[in-house]
Amino acid sequence: MGEFLAVICAFTFLIGLVMLIIAFFRKRPKKKVGIATGIGFMTILIAGSILPPAEETANSKEKIAVDSKKEDDEKKEKASKDEVAKKVAAEKADIENKKQAAEKKKKEQLNVKGTVKATAGKGKIQVEIDTNIPDGSLLEVSLIDGNLNHKSGFVKVKDGIAETSFDIPADWKPAHFAANAMFRFNLDEHPQPEDIKNIYGETGNKMTGDLASENQLGGKNAVFETVTVPYPSVEAVKTEQDKSFNQAIAEMKELGGGIILDVKPRQGNWDIVNVVISDAWYYSPDHEKERFVDQIGELVMNLVNNSGKYEDLVSVYFVDSYGSDLATPRILGGWKLKK
């Protein structure tokens, strides 16, 4: 503001001085012009007195520049510290997240999960286990059919999968095979690797989940749910079952000494079965009839279930050659004699 006032005063003084010179040469009255010029000169003096010295002004500007630079440096330093603090916080958060992820993975591994799948081909049965067990873990895989034919072996998990193939001997008949897998910690001949024991415990004692089952060492094994597979095909197994069923019925007739005439579905399906009895039934005492229906009735139920013709509860009726009921199944089990 002071500098601006000085400029105005100097400008006023110069204008007055020029007018004074012009008046002098034109011989006009110089009083008013002289007064104006004097006022401008006095104003310059006053402005000069109130303006700070040039050196002080320079120092002031230099101080302002220094203060500004200092403020900028402080801002940069603070920004740098904030950036470092953010980086440190991000690194700590990353370490914590990785720690939590590792703990979560370990907890999930202890809760053993997995499914077994079996497929049959010519001369082979392939078994595959999909599981969350770590790589390198050892699984025992086994096959068994209704004729008590058995195969087993050991396989390691890799990338969450364990798979193996069994060669089936040519003399084994078509049948349903049960495929099973176990994650065991109680076999000295096939121990788990040390890194796996470090996770689950020496005897599998740290294992959790629905598949965990206690072993004789006080630890746990994981027993996967058993699945069945028809070998070598569904059609071949059905043909073999029908053959075996018909053969069993024929043997039962033969052992019955002519008393059993036939075994057949009552209404087309094997959920209800008629056992056709000869007229010798009418000449037998009741205690022999009761023993006969109990034994033959249970045998027929098992034959139907095992043949695959019907998998639920089978109702067995004993009838004569004319279709009249001789003994009927009770609701709570057993049979009631009718004639």
Q: Read off the pLDDT of residues 23-34 as tens digits, 9 standing for 90 and up.
A: 555 655 555 555
The pLDDT value given to residue 20: 57
pLDDT at residue 38 in the model = 59
Across 223-234, average pLDDT: 95
pLDDT reading at 327 higher than 70:
yes
Q: What is the pTM of this model?
A: 0.59
- 3-class DSSP state of 278: coil
* Phi and psi at residue 13, to the nearest 5°: -60, -45
Instruction: Select the more confidently predicted residue: 301 or 15.
Output: 301
Q: What is the model's pLDDT at position 23? A: 58
Q: Which residue has the tokens 């109130």?
A: 50
- Percent pLDDT > 70 in the chain is 78
For 36, the 3-state DSSP assignment is helix
C-alpha–C-alpha distance, residues 165 and 161, integer Å? 14
Q: Within its chain, how far is the Cα of 238 from the centroid? A: 38
137 vs 338, which has greater pLDDT?
Answer: 137
C-alpha 110/C-alpha 102 separation (Å) is 12
Nearest to 1, CA basis, from 43, 58, 45, 52: 52
Question: Does the pLDDT value for residue 69 go beyond 80?
Answer: no
The pLDDT of residue 187: 94
**What average pLDDT does the segment 67-90 reach?**
74
Residue 113 has pLDDT above 70, yes or no: yes
Q: For the chain, which residues make up each domain, given as ranges? A: 2-51, 111-231, 235-337
| In the chain, alpha helices (H) | 2-26, 31-50, 54-110, 194-200, 234-255, 286-307
* Helix/strand/coil for 286: helix
More reliable by pLDDT, 19 or 259: 259
Q: Model confidence at 106, in pLDDT bands (50, 70, 90)? A: confident
**pLDDT class of 252 with cuts at 50, 70, 90:** confident
pLDDT of residue 168: 96
What pLDDT is stored for residue 105 in this prediction?
Answer: 73
The domain made up of 111-231 has a fold known as Immunoglobulin-like (2.60.40)
Confidence check: pLDDT of 315 > 80: yes
- Residue 335: φ, ψ to 5°: -135, 150
What interhelical angle do 31-50 and 2-26 show, nearest 10? 160
User: Who's near 79: CB < 8 A, 6+ residues apart?
Assistant: none
Query: What is the greatest pairwise CA distance in the chain?
Result: 177
Q: Which residue has the higher pLDDT, 241 or 71?
A: 241
pLDDT at 1: 54
Give percent of the chain above pLDDT 90: 57
List beta partners, residue 263: 275
Of the candidates 28, 206, 46, 196, which has an alpha carbon nearest to the alpha carbon of residue 111? 206
Q: Decide: helix, strand or coil at residue 31.
A: helix
Question: Which pLDDT score is estimated for 47?
Answer: 53
Least confident of 12-26, 63-77, 103-117: 12-26
Q: Report whether pLDDT(39) > 70.
A: no
Q: How far, in Å, CA of 159 to CA of 146, rounded?
A: 33
Q: What is the pLDDT of residue 126?
A: 97
Q: Is pLDDT above 70 for 86?
A: yes
pLDDT in tens, 117-136: 999 998 999 999 999 999 99
Lowest mean pLDDT, pick from 30-34, 192-196, 296-300, 304-308: 30-34
Position with higher pLDDT, 229 vs 94: 229
Q: Are 142 and 150 in contact (CB under 8 A)?
A: yes
Q: Nearest to residue 276, comparing CAs of 249, 251, 247, 313? A: 249
